[in-house]
Chain A
Amino acid sequence: MQRKHLLITGATLATLLCARIALADASAVAEQYKWMTFAVFGAIIAVTMAITYWAAKSTHSASEYYAAGRSVSGVQNGWAIAGDYLSAASFLGIAGLISLYGYDGFMYSVGWLVAYITVLLVIAEPCRNIGKYTLGDILAFRNNPKMAKTVAALSTITVSTFYLTAQMVGGGVLIKTLIGIDYEISVIGVGILMLAYVVFGGMKATTWVQIVKAALLVTASIVLVAFVWTPYGFSLPGFLDSVVGDAKVQARVAALLGDAAKNMTGTELGQRFLEPGLFLKNPIDQISLGMALVLGTAGMPHILMRFFTVPTAQDARKSVVWAMAIIGGFYVLTLFLGMGSAINVGVAQITAIDKGGNMAAPLLAQYVGGGPDSMLGNFLLAFVAAVAFATIVAVVAGLVLASASAMAHDIYVGVIRGDHASPGEQVVAARVASLIVGVLAITIGILAKGQNVAHLVALAFAVAASSNLPAVFLTLYWKKCNTAGIVLGMTVGAFTAIGLVMVSPNMTYPLQVKAAEEKVIAAQTGRLAALNADLAKAADPAAKDRLTVDIKKAEAAKAASEKKIADLGGATTSLVGLEKPLIDLKNPGLISIPLGFLMVFVGSLLYRDRRAEEMWDELYVRQNTGIHAEGASAH
């Protein structure tokens, strides 16, 4: 225990030290207020490390390591699911989308909640009743255990790696933008902290870190919304009236619409912000993404894993209902965060620091506290930045635990040791696997610096929906489903989803990039010529200064575009050797999900398996009644 204590203290100090280095860059939090962010963040680390120390003391068996001894209550698990699910992308990203594009951003958030209806109705309770720790355990129930566990583990690791990469890279960029800590140091800091939680405290520590983070996130959002909405007496039309009438919002819509905005009045432009179509242009893509969300969430290994932490199926049900209340409530609040930021901060300021709009909520926090020069404003900004950091760490911890369980429990204990590992050996395997996955996550995070990883989240959901969900769903509800079906379905589903993305517009196509950048260069060259001509004619020194500034800006824009072309290094084709996308679809779900289901049917019918059918009665009775379900460990 002494050794663990020392290691945990060491991890805390290392992270804080990392955080103190390199604070020079421009960021949302101003230099003189950074200590506040570190103070808030230090407090969060101290609390979560205390939790980890406490959790580590009672983590000795596999059931304790992977499932917190199945002693988490329904309400606690509901908060933990929310903490596991609400990533920085939803906290900062969706608020940002709403601040930049209005209605479409809000519409985008709906699918993330509706996804939980599938989880509640068809997945949570049956999985709790027949499962143990992993997706592989569910699929191994009536199929060949070694094959089922192998495909399930590979799929779990694939899905989690996509999601993890997006979180690590996105998190590193966000921390840099918020507080100015170097990208690599952020990634390593997130990695070390998360490893301390997962390796020592297992599921118990991870659960409580997620609960703390969800509570902080909800508190921060409620405080901000209270500030934003109070002036309108909590009236929805009153608040939206001020959005419609806001000059900054009207200017933003005019810029988005271009020529179409010429004959519109200010109010019409403002009202347009509350109507669809400013961001989401392709309905087929949206329906495809919607399918991936609604079916993929229920196939996400780190979400499935949460249902093994509660004592009974009734608690699993209760936890989804609580999670839906928290997640849904949070998304409704983002409407006010996003719109509030659009009217109080304004798009120009939001995008000045980050083009994607991620700074909408943090800058709103600064504004409602009194602005960039006020103590309260900077405290609120510091608080939101620290919450964002905690958010990234908590989500990453859940993902690492899910991958590690697939590696240690499914592959090592299940396949290699043939389920004959001693309890002590199982826990060691789990800790070693967590360490391996964690180090891999840090390495991937650093290697993928500068890559566009935004589409990896959607891809993770698409793979989960095309591979895991059809296999789990049909093994639970279709008597004839068997090993051949799940192996074929999961393989084809996953490869189709990944393959379609590789040939989709999500990839970088050098020729298209080059053409776009050449357009920018041509435009800037023309502008430079005009500006230089003006400069030669200008007599007034003030006008000269202004022109010089503009010339510098145009030169910088031109140089940036030239650098982008140079970075392509003469490449003419994408990663898979294409000059242009083969398909228009950005989200593969529309094709890969039905195909995943179809292949489970085909495989099952081609290779009939008597054992799978004989086990059906037992599986079906047990999933509906909870007879012989894994019980809570006695304490």
Chain B
Amino acid sequence: MTRPALNWAAIDSDPRFQELHRKKMAFLWGLMIFSVVYYFLLPIGAAYFPELFRIKVWGPVNVGILFALSEFVVAWAIAGIYARRANREFDAMAAEIVRDAAKIGA
């Protein structure tokens, strides 16, 4: 398979690619930092705030159990939010660049 030579530097500096890069980076870093912080709150909370984890809120179900279960819900939510935005927005932006790739900087 022969591949057409592309002007990568020109594609990289194309405003549409720059916009994709900017949007993606801000979104990914935001989600990543939030998820890491949220995850480490669990062991930190269990170790340093055991009294909080012990508070019963729903019969024998305490804050600790709800918080651990919420970790699952949050992980799924992050996956869902990312996949939704990537499917709707990032894929379309990338497809447009791919379509015009040979023309950019030629």
Nearest chain B CB to A107 CB, angstrom units: 6
A145 interfacial by beta-carbon distance below 8 Å: no
Q: Which residues of B contact A117 (CB under 8 A)?
A: 31-32, 35, 75, 78-79
| CB pair A240 B60 closer than 8 Å | yes
Within the complex, which residue of B8, B43, B71 is in contact with A621, where a contact is CB–CB below 8 Å?
Answer: B8
A271 to B57 CA separation, bound complex (whole angstroms): 13
Q: Which residues of A contact B31 (CB under 8 A)?
A: 117, 121
A344 interfacial by beta-carbon distance below 8 Å: no
CB-CB contacts below 8 Å: A158-202 with B: none
| CB pair B50 A294 closer than 8 Å | no
Q: Which residues of B contact A113 (CB under 8 A)?
A: 71-72, 75
CB-CB contacts below 8 Å: B16-62 with A: 17, 20-21, 24, 28, 31-32, 35-36, 39-40, 42-44, 46-48, 50, 53-54, 56, 58-62
Within the complex, which residue of A106, A280, A320, A624 is in contact with B20, where a contact is CB–CB below 8 Å?
Answer: A624
Q: Which residues of A contact B59 (CB under 8 A)?
A: 237-238, 240-241
A106 to B43 CA separation, bound complex (whole angstroms): 12
A7 interfacial by beta-carbon distance below 8 Å: no
A208 to B73 CA separation, bound complex (whole angstroms): 29
| CB pair A237 B61 closer than 8 Å | yes
CB-CB contacts below 8 Å: A101-147 with B: 103-104, 106-107, 110-111, 113-114, 116-118, 120-122
Q: Which residues of B contact A328 (CB under 8 A)?
A: 72, 75-76
Task: Tell which of B60, B75, B82 has the most Cβ of chain A within 10 Å.
Answer: B60
Q: Interface size class for chain A?
A: 35 or more
| CB pair B28 A237 closer than 8 Å | no
| CB pair A275 B50 closer than 8 Å | yes
| CB pair A237 B44 closer than 8 Å | no
| CB pair B54 A275 closer than 8 Å | yes
A317 to B20 CA separation, bound complex (whole angstroms): 17
Q: Which residues of B contact A275 (CB under 8 A)?
A: 50, 53-54, 62, 64
Q: Mark A288-331, 1 if CB is under 8 A from B, else 0.
A: 00100010000000000000000000100110110011001001
B91 interfacial by beta-carbon distance below 8 Å: yes
Q: Which residues of B contact A107 (CB under 8 A)?
A: 42-43, 46, 64, 68
Closest to A270 in B: B60
A33 interfacial by beta-carbon distance below 8 Å: no
Within the complex, which residue of A118, A280, A321 is in contact with B80, where a contact is CB–CB below 8 Å?
Answer: A321
Q: Interface size class for chain B?
A: 35 or more
A617 interfacial by beta-carbon distance below 8 Å: yes
Task: Tell which of B50, B75, B78 has the most Cβ of chain A within 10 Å.
Answer: B75
Task: Tell which of B20, B40, B48, B101 has the most Cβ of chain A within 10 Å.
Answer: B40
Q: Which residues of A contact B83 (CB under 8 A)?
A: 120, 317-318, 321
| CB pair A287 B61 closer than 8 Å | no
Label chain A's interface by main secondary structure.
helix
A89 to B69 CA separation, bound complex (whole angstroms): 21
| CB pair B75 A324 closer than 8 Å | yes
Q: Which residues of B contact A243 (CB under 8 A)?
A: 60
| CB pair B39 A240 closer than 8 Å | no
Nearest chain B CB to A629 CB, angstrom units: 10
Closest to B65 in A: A274
Closest to A277 in B: B50
Task: Tell which of B21, B35, B50, B58 has the most Cβ of chain A within 10 Å.
Answer: B35
Within the complex, which residue of A103, A325, A627 is in contact with B98, where a contact is CB–CB below 8 Å?
Answer: A627
| CB pair B3 A628 closer than 8 Å | yes
A287-B50 contact, Cβ under 8 Å, with A110-B68, A110-B71: no
Q: Which residues of B contact A621 (CB under 8 A)?
A: 8, 11-12, 17, 97
Closest to B53 in A: A276
A212 to B35 CA separation, bound complex (whole angstroms): 31
Task: Tell which of A121, A621, A624 has the most Cβ of chain B within 10 Å.
Answer: A621
Q: Which residues of A contact B39 (CB under 8 A)?
A: 110-111, 114, 290, 294
Q: Add 6 more A-B contacts to A107-B64, A274-B62, A277-B50 (CB < 8 A).
A: A113-B71, A122-B32, A238-B59, A321-B79, A321-B83, A621-B12
Question: What is A's interface to B at a CB cutoff of 8 Å?
Answer: 103-104, 106-107, 110-111, 113-114, 116-118, 120-122, 236-238, 240-241, 243-244, 271, 274-277, 280, 283, 286-287, 290, 294, 314, 317-318, 320-321, 324-325, 328, 331-332, 617-618, 620-621, 624-628
18 contacts between A and B (CB under 8 A): A110-B39, A110-B42, A111-B39, A114-B35, A116-B75, A122-B32, A271-B62, A276-B46, A287-B40, A290-B43, A325-B76, A618-B8, A620-B21, A621-B17, A624-B20, A624-B24, A624-B94, A625-B98
